[in-house]
Amino acid sequence: MQHDNVMPGGGLDTPEQLRDFAARLPGVIFQFHRGQDGHMHFPYLAGSGTGLPGIEAAQLEQDARHLLDRLDEEDYPRLMTAIERSARWQLPLATKFRFHLPNGRSRWIALRAQPEVAEQGVLWHGLMIDITEQMIEEARLRRLSDTDPLTGLANRRKLIARLKEETSLCNRHGTPLSLMLLDLDFFKRVNDTWGHLQGDQVLVELARLCRQLLREEDIIGRLGGEEFAVVLPLTPMVRCRPLAERLRRQIAAHDFGIAPGQITVSIGLAEYRLGEPQDALIERADRSLYAAKHQGRNRVIA
């Protein structure tokens, strides 16, 4: 016979049931205290995520540094700033950080907590949840949104965003910047003669060759079709042109798996003028590219 005060299918009527419930939670519920002297510790920890490799819960009850010392060096100051802001203004604490494991890997942790003034400091009540899989998926989607699926280069959206960043730096510091536009010559003939699959392979190989020949700081992307662009930070035209000529020669001499000499590029160059709109730089480089096509292709025009 069932008692009236006991609900079927579970319940949290006793301290034992509450402890069992907390231990099964997919994460960590906690109390975090920061004293007026700056000492930090976790008076309470519960949940399935409390089993941190190499750290005992009893250690964290005494000193939070056992956990904080395992944070990523980029995330640590951000977390400390968030704690200070939350304590000073009594605002909710909401942040995320990477926690390094003994095997060299790391996990992303999301933290949410509510502060209250406590004896000799501030006490937060909150929870931490492992969001590593979510962060991996977000990074994958971000790469997809920024990457040309065929060549693996930056796509047009990403390239224009990087160009905007670099022109902003130029205007702030007066540093040089050049833009290079490349277009494959007679690419329609390649597709018509050898097929679109071979044409795609040419684009993939061209992207690989450009990455190999360009400098690490140069930013290359596919604008669409057979047109590519390279943003060259800290590079005036006097340095950009020889680099473009070397790139043009190497592409013309490269074996793309079809008849020799069939793959060449025309290249248009422009150097950024301080204060000009980004579109004006692209338009000048595009005019140079058009001139290279008009003057016989397989050449560099600035």
HEC secondary structure over 196-257:
HHHHHHHHHHHHHHHHHHCCCCCEEEEEECCEEEEEEECCCHHHHHHHHHHHHHHHHHCCCC
- Decide if 201 is inside a domain: yes
Last residue of a domain, one of 135, 165, 191: 135
Cα(167)–Cα(182) distance, rounded to whole angstroms?
A: 20
DSSP per-residue string spanning 166-195: HHHHHHHH---EEEEEEEETTHHHHHHHH-
Same-domain pairing of 152 and 295: yes
Amino acid at residue number 268: G
**Rounded CA gap, 286 and 302, in Å?**
10
Within this chain, do residues 64 and 163 fall inside the same structural domain, yes or no?
Answer: no
pTM value is 0.62
Task: Using 50 as the pLDDT threshold, list the residues of the chain that sit under it.
Answer: 1-7
Q: In this structure, are 160 and 269 located in the same domain?
A: yes
Domain span at residue 49 reads 15-135
Rounded to 5 degrees, what are φ and ψ at 95?
A: -160, 180
Does residue 265 share a domain with residue 131? no
Decide: 34 and 121 in contact? Cβ < 8 Å. Answer: yes
* Structural domain contains residue 42: yes
Answer yes or no: is 131 within a domain.
yes
Number of domains in the chain: 2
- Inside any domain, residue 7: no
- The catalytically annotated residue of 61, 226, 245, 276 is 226
Give domain status of residue 231, yes or no.
yes
| One domain, residues 129 and 165 | no
Q: What is the structure's pLDDT at 288?
A: 98
Q: Is 255 part of a structural domain of the chain?
A: yes
Specify the pLDDT at position 10.
Answer: 63
> Looking at 135, 163, 182, which one is the last position of a domain?
135
Same-domain pairing of 129 and 153: no
pLDDT at 140: 85
- In a shared domain, residues 173 and 291: yes
| Residue 101 backbone zone (phi > 0: left; psi -120 to 50: alpha; other: beta) | beta
Residues 192, 278 within the same domain: yes
Q: Would you give the end-to-end CA distance of the chain in angstroms? A: 92
Write down which residue in 135, 166, 197 finishes a domain.
135
Considering Cα of 12, then 23, then 98, then 116, what sign does the dihedral take? positive
Decide: residue 61, CB within 10 A, 0-12 exposed, 13-18 middle, 19+ buried: middle
Whether 126 and 29 have beta carbons less than 8 Å apart is answered as: yes
**Contact yes or no for 274/297 (Cβ under 8 A):** no
Q: What is the CATH number of the domain that holds 46?
A: 3.30.450.20
Structural domain contains residue 10? no
The C-alpha atoms of residue 139 and residue 119 are separated, in whole angstroms, by 42
Q: Is 138 part of the annotated catalytic residue set?
A: no
- State the residue for tokens 């003057």: 295
102 and 201 belong to one structural domain: no
* CATH code: domain of residue 253: 3.30.70.270
pLDDT tens by residue, 198-229: 999 999 999 999 999 999 999 999 999 999 99
Question: What are 45's two structure tokens?
Answer: 């920890």
pLDDT (0 to 100) of residue 208: 95
Taking only Cα atoms into account, the Rg of the chain, rounded to an integer number of angstroms, comes to 29
The pair of structure tokens assigned to 187 is: 């690419």
Are residues 162 and 116 part of one domain?
no
Q: Which tokens belong to 15?
A: 């301290």
Residue 161 and residue 127 share a domain: no
Residues 29 and 123 reside in one and the same domain: yes
73 found inside a domain: yes
